[in-house]
Chains A and B, each alone.
Chain A
Amino acid sequence: MIIYAALFAFICFALAVLMNLWKIISADEIADRILALDAMFINALATMVLYGIALGTEIFFEAALIIAMLGFVSTVAYARFILRGNIIE
C-alpha cells in the first residue's frame, strides 16, 4: 500500500516540477521566475526523499539537505542581485 501512495506522490511532484518548468519558461516578470525556481528546488527535494522511502534507504538525506541549502542560498542571491546589482559587497 505504501508503494501505491508513493507512486501517487511521485506523479503529483513530477507534474509539479513540470508546471514549475513551464512557469520558468513562460513567465513575463522576473519575480515569478525566481519563485518558480524556488518551488522547483523544493519539489525536487520532495521527490528525492520520496525515492528514499520507495527504496527503503536513508542515503538520500544528505543530498536532500544540500539541495535545501543550495535552493535557499541561490534564491536569496538571485533576488539580491535584482535588488542591489551585486551579491557580495
Chain B
Amino acid sequence: MFSEYLIAGFLIMAGIFGFVGSFGLLKLDDPMSRLHAPTKATTLGVGGVLLASMVHGFTVEGHLSLHEVMITLFLFLTAPVTALFIAKVHIHRHQTPESLPKAGDDIKWATHDVSVETAEPKTDGPDERHG
C-alpha cells in the first residue's frame, strides 16, 4: 500500500515537472532563460517517471530491474552537453564579440575565436588540397 502512494507521488511530481519544463519554453522571454526550463525541469520529470518505474517493477511486478538507472544516468550526463551546444549556437548566431562580457585571459570567447577552429596542418602549396 505504501509503495502505491510512493509510485503515485513520483508520477504526479514527474508530470508537474515535465509540464512546467515545456511551459517555461513557451513562457520565458529571454533566449537563454528558455534554455534553462527544458534542460532542468524536463530532465527531472523523466527522472521521476523512471524512479516510479523502478519502484513499480520492484514492488508490483516483483523483480528489481536496473534498466532505468542506465537511462537516468545517460540523460543526466547528456542534458548539460546539449545545453552547452545550444548555448553555443545562440552565441554563434545572435551575439558579437562586442556584446559579450570579457573572456578573461583569452581575447575572444571560443565560439567566436575562428583561428583555433580553422587551424589546419601546414601544406606546402595552396593547390595541394585540390590535387
List residues of chain A with CB under 8 Å of any chain B CB: 1-2, 4-6, 8-13, 15-17, 19-20, 22-23, 29-32, 34-36, 38-39, 42-43, 45-46, 49-50, 52-53, 56, 58, 61, 64-65, 68-69, 72, 75-76, 79-80, 82-84
State whether B14 touches A29 (Cβ < 8 A): no
How many chain B residues touch the partner (CB < 8 A)? 55
State whether A46 touches B45 (Cβ < 8 A): yes
State whether A34 touches B89 (Cβ < 8 A): yes
State whether A15 touches B22 (Cβ < 8 A): yes
State whether A83 touches B89 (Cβ < 8 A): yes
State whether B74 touches A35 (Cβ < 8 A): no
CB distance from B1 to the nearest CB of A (A): 9
State whether B42 touches A29 (Cβ < 8 A): no
Q: List B contacts of A19 (CB < 8 A).
A: 22-23, 25-26
State whether A75 touches B25 (Cβ < 8 A): no
Indicate whether A50 sits within 8 Å of B38 (C-beta atoms), given known contacts A1-B8, A19-B22, A72-B82: no
